[in-house]
Structure 1
């Protein structure tokens, strides 16, 4: 059986809605937290599929989180081999850094459900399933576009929302996996300061989560299933 490894930067940010298409594609899923002592020894080139999820830390906060440069080095080795890799939010920023691009604080907190604008020149990408679908955004960091990748999506606030390299690398700044996971409530209560920064109301976000969440997850699952079906291994 093929093996997938999910790297969690904080326990409250897991693969959520993406688990179903990953399992349906025949992967046995393992998980590791960066806070675990085992992370220093894990070989990120070993799994057939690597999934890196989000987290509140910044890639540039390496003095606070000494595992960050270690993860970037391990990830760079995997990307050099063009092994199937998916990054979400912080995971996408880690991919950008591993490819040599700068990751830095943005000018605003992008938070809430909103659609992404797809690059019309490459509508054959798996992101076509997200056309006109509001998905969850929750970040304030961004990155320069690495060399040799295709930009897939943008928003008015942040131009670099998704990119791919060939068929085996997909990076998503937004959270198309979230919309039905009960941990959303944990996000609202634990990251309450983000709501203040973005001038967002928790009541309104809960309402939007109820209205848009199921559609976002359904589209996100279709996107991941499509991407997995196209992998070159």
Structure 2
């Protein structure tokens, strides 16, 4: 492992069962250690000042709920500094919204919940990392959305929301959808998010069947995409 790029990857969790999923095995296969930080419990300074890769995971709260969740303000402030330094950062769902907000874009409640499996429209940008997802359904699970930061390159859209993924250079990647989801872990999501699913009138048995149909293949593609991105960050892996 190169001395330039840290051999530890930090992951910030906002919810216990939303973890690195299929990405975690890729980290270990490429020789990295993984350390989790719990937002709202742990001091996030070490994770967000880390010069290696930091991954900011999803959660059911909104970027704008700083009054109810004061820790969010510190997370946002530290993230702004991190992004200004162009340190390697991946955001998933809430993590993507936090990156968008830290880059000056508006984050707000969407017109409808997007929960379930559907394909993306992959934008024809040069060397689009997400090209392998062209015909692969992915898991969407969000109610908020964001405007595209001015310095960002749009990578993917969905039928409901135009801004599903963006990159800033080669170091910063934001994914609104859940590329990392593991097929054998979704039941935890169905239990943990039961109130949201019921309120949104989501058909839980149908969502479970979609997971059985689509998640195993997504795991294969997701591992390839994440591995490619991680190795581009650190060619010495």
Question: What are the residue-to-residue correspondences of 1:28-47 with 2, within 5 Å?
Answer: 28-36=33-41, 38-39=42-43, 41-47=45-51
Match of 1:84 in 2: 88
Question: What are the residue-to-residue correspondences of 1:50-129 with 2, within 5 Å?
Answer: 50-122=54-126, 124-129=127-132
Change (3 A) 1:20 1:232: closer
Q: Give the whole-Å Cα distance in 2 for the aligned partners of 1:133 and 1:207.
A: 16
Change (3 A) 1:97 1:146: same
SS at match of 1:111: strand
Give TM-score scaled by structure 1 length. Answer: 0.93
Give TM-score scaled by structure 2 length. Answer: 0.92
Contact kept in structure 2, 1:58 and 1:90, CA below 8 Å = yes
In the alignment, structure 2 segments of 5+ residues that lack a partner are 2-6
CA drift at 1:81: 1.1
Aligned counterpart in structure 2 of residue 165 of structure 1, from 165, 168, 175? 168
Q: Give the whole-Å Cα distance in 2 for the aligned partners of 1:21 and 1:43.
A: 20
In the alignment, structure 1 segments of 5+ residues that lack a partner are none
Question: What are the residue-to-residue correspondences of 1:194-205 with 2, within 5 Å?
Answer: 194-205=196-207
CA drift at 1:40: 5.2
Contact kept in structure 2, 1:109 and 1:197, CA below 8 Å = no
Q: Which deviates more from structure 2 when the two are superposed, residues 185-194 or residues 164-173?
A: 185-194
Q: Give the whole-Å Cα distance in 1 for the aligned partners of 2:44 and 2:57.
A: 18
